Amino acid sequence: MLLITLLLAADARIRVIPTLSSKNLRQLAWHIIPVTLISVLFVVVGVSFRTGWWF
């Protein structure tokens, strides 16, 4: 999950943000949404390991 987050951030930083305008704002949204979902998964997995949901 961390690797996917880093790859999405690098892609946004290199490819999307330098050419950001109102026309290609949707591309940035396609980076923000997965990063948000992965962040929620980080929390769920962290809590599950802490509380023992998986065991």
Q: What is the mean pLDDT of residues 18-23?
A: 91
Largest CA distance in the chain: 48
For residue 53, the model assigns a pLDDT of 78
Position 55 confidence tier, pLDDT thresholds 50, 70, 90? low
For residue 49, the model assigns a pLDDT of 87
- Ordered DSSP codes for 1-55: -HHHHHHHHHHIIIIIGGG--STTHHHHHHHHHHHHHHHHHHHHHHHHHHHTTT-
State pTM to two decimals. 0.78
Contact (CB, 8 A) for 40 and 48: no
